[in-house]
Structure formats: C-alpha cells, structure tokens
Amino acid sequence: MIWTIVILITTLFVAYANGANDNFKGVATLFGSGTADYRKALLWATAATFAGSIAAFFLAAKLIQTFSGKGLVPDVFLANPAFLVSVILGAGLSVFIAARIGIPISTTHALTGALAGSGWLAAGDRLGFTTLGHNFFIPLLFSPIIAIVLTAALYPLFRLAGERAGIRKNTCVCIGERIIPVGNLSLNENGMLSVAELKSLDILVDEKEACEAKAVELYSGRVLGIEVGKILDFGHFLSAGAVSFSRGLNDTPKIVALSLGAGALGLGWNIGGVALAMAAGGLASARRVAETMSKRITRMNHSEGFTANLVTAFLVIAASGWGMPVSTTHVSCGSLFGLGLVTGKARWKVIGGIVSAWVLTLPAAALLAGISYGVLR
C-alpha cells in the first residue's frame, strides 16, 4: 500500500514537471510572433494539452506498452516498486530542474535515460540494448532531423504561394494600441527599433513609448474575400492547438506506463491524474521555458510560426498513432531550428545550448535514476 502511494505521488511529480517544461511548447510560436500574449497562449495550451491527454485513453495504448519497460529489463523488475520509483524520480528530477533553469528538454528523453540507468543497475548485461536502440534511440535521434528538413522545405513553398496569391509582408510598429505601417524594414535580432529609427520614420514618441514600441511583421491581402491576417491568426491558433493536443496525446501514456505496471489504480484514473498534474505544472511554472522557446531560438512572424506548428503537429500525431516515442520537445525545437535556418534568423548560440542540454539529459536522468535505485533497493 505504501509503495502504491509513493508511485502515485512520484508519477504526479513527473507529470507536473512535464507540464512546467513542455506545456508551452505547442504555443511558443503564438507568443513569439505576437499573435497572443503569454496568458492567452498558456490557457490555450493547457486546454488543448488536457484534451490530448484524455484522447490518449483511446488512441495511444501502444506508447503505454513501449514505456512499461517490457523487453528492456527482465519482467521481474517491472513489478519491483523500487525500480519503478527510481525511474520516475530520475526522469522527474531531470525535467523539473531543466524547467527551473528555463531549458526545454524532453520528458521522453529523460524517461529513456532513467529506464536505461535503473535497468543497467538492476539487470546488468541482461538490459535489452536492442530494444533500447530500436524502440527509443532511433525515433529520438531522427525526429528532430525530419522536423528541420520538413520545415526548411515547406516554408519557402508557403511563402511563394502567398506571393503569387498577392499576399504581401509589411513591417508595422506597435505602440500601445497604435499599429503604424512603416514598410518592409529589416528588423534587428530582437524585432525592436531604436528611438532614432522611430524618429527617422517620423513617428513621434517619448522615451517611455520608445521602450514599449515593438516592430512586427504583418501580412496584407485577401483570400476568398477574407483578410489574410485573420486567416493566418485563425490557422495559427488551430495549429498551436494541434501541437498541444499531440503533446498531450504522446506524453501522457509514457508517464502513466510505469504506475500502471505497479497496479496503481486503473488506466482512467491514472490518465486523469496525470492530465491534471500536467495542467497545473504548465499554469504554475512554464514562464522560463516559454521565454526560451518563444523568443530566444529565432525571431518569427505569424506565417513562420504557423509553418513550424504544422510540421510539429503532423509528426507527433503520426508518431503517437504508430506507437513511436518521439519527443515533442525535439520535434518542436527542430521545427524552429529549421525555420531559423531558412529565414536566416536562427540564434545559434541558444540552439547550441539547447542541443547540449539534450545530450546531457540521457546521462543525467540515468545517473539520478541509478542513484535512486541503489538507495531504494
């Protein structure tokens, strides 16, 4: 009974950490492009992720089997509470620490590392290295590469189609409620204009207004009689919701898999609890990762963010249906990397730091899980 309670509590901790690190990733492009403010984007992400978590009850059973550890370690360990808790702790601590720092890492990556760390300590050379490589490493390795290639290929096609449809991109300066068109300027890395630049455009502002002024790229034109800006905003919100939905669909079964292996409550109760804990983590602790994902990787406009979201949603939903444990973090960041590559706006120092964190996630989670198993055993 005590072990069951411990497993449930630690599972909810992983779900909370997952929400803090992952919930905002689906709507990062909404916030980064200025389509929505932080609060509106976060609420939309929470609602869509929760819906995806509930849908996982019906659509993502294969992922529960993959992350149960079956085939990775002998079955005797899958019923060992010390093994299960150590895996959960290793993954949860890794993701929670990264969320506090503001680094977007993968819960999938952390769970894989924790399974490998505890599994090696528990089973030694009986660890299923073939299963580890085929079921975990290959999808995690190739999914961000596919996302980079797809985004880099699709965005120029979308841009060309828009130009042929008469859609034009314009730079506007937003000062409070005022939106002032200023032509197609080249913005600096932060999408801002200096006081001198504002004055050169005959825009009269005081020092306070200049600090709050922000340049954004908006689209003009009509498609089927509707303003293209409204179409893009609507499509961008839908695509962000699809990414958040796919994240809930893909991540929830991974987290509940281990608690189910211990016989802790049933599938429905586990998914409901994990969904609520993920929502709480996102609402309470997502701000730091939100800033990194939305503003530090690459500057983007509405159309660019929409493209990145389409690629992410497609890949993650497809992988969930096939039972492949891809990382929403890797796919969404890969889409943003590809976007920055093709637009020339990528901030490579930040990207390098994120990739380094990905490399460290596996050994860090494995070490934490291994230490936990050694103590609990």
Of the chain, the percentage scoring pLDDT greater than 90 comes to: 15
Cα 97 to chain centroid, rounded: 16
pTM of the model: 0.77
Q: How far apart are CA 366 and CA 119, in angstroms?
A: 9
Instruction: Please indicate, yes or no, whether residues 203 and 315 belong to a single structural domain of this protein.
Output: no
Instruction: Please indicate, yes or no, whether residues 312 and 280 belong to a single structural domain of this protein.
Output: yes
CB 90 within 8 A of CB 366: yes
Q: Which of 250, 240, 229 is nearest to 308 (CA)?
A: 240
**Per residue in 109-160, pLDDT tens?**
888 888 888 888 877 776 666 666 666 677 777 888 899 999 999 888 888 8
Locus of tokens 């889409």 = 335
CA angle 33, 37, 41 (to 5 degrees): 90
**Assigned domain for 225 exists:** no
Q: Which two tokens stand for residue 29?
A: 């492009």
Q: Which are the contacts of 41, defined by CB distance < 8 A and separation ≥ 6?
A: 24, 27, 30, 31, 240, 290
Instruction: Please indicate, yes or no, whether residues 123 and 33 belong to a single structural domain of this protein.
Output: yes
Q: Treating both helix axes as pointing N-terminal to C-terminal, what angle do 228-261 and 38-59 enclose, rounded to 10 degrees?
A: 50
**Assigned domain for 279 exists:** yes
Q: Treating both helix axes as pointing N-terminal to C-terminal, what angle do 328-343 and 107-123 enclose, rounded to 10 degrees?
A: 130
Instruction: Please indicate, yes or no, whether residues 174 and 149 belong to a single structural domain of this protein.
Output: no
Instruction: Please indicate, yes or no, whether residues 276 and 365 belong to a single structural domain of this protein.
Output: yes
**Assigned domain for 226 exists:** no
**Per residue in 3-53, pLDDT tens?**
878 888 888 899 999 999 988 988 988 888 778 889 999 999 999 999 998
Instruction: Please indicate, yes or no, whether residues 191 and 100 belong to a single structural domain of this protein.
Output: no
Instruction: Please indicate, yes or no, whether residues 43 and 173 belong to a single structural domain of this protein.
Output: no
**Domain that includes residue 16, residue range:** 2-161+237-376
Q: Which are the contacts of 374, defined by CB distance < 8 A and separation ≥ 6?
A: 121
179 phi/psi in degrees, rounded to 5: -120, 115
Number of domains in the chain: 2
Q: How far apart are CA 116 and CA 62, in angstroms?
A: 20
**Per residue in 65-115, pLDDT tens?**
666 556 666 666 667 888 888 988 999 999 999 999 888 888 888 888 888
**Assigned domain for 231 exists:** no
**Per residue in 288-336, pLDDT tens?**
888 888 878 877 777 788 888 889 888 888 876 676 667 778 888 888 8
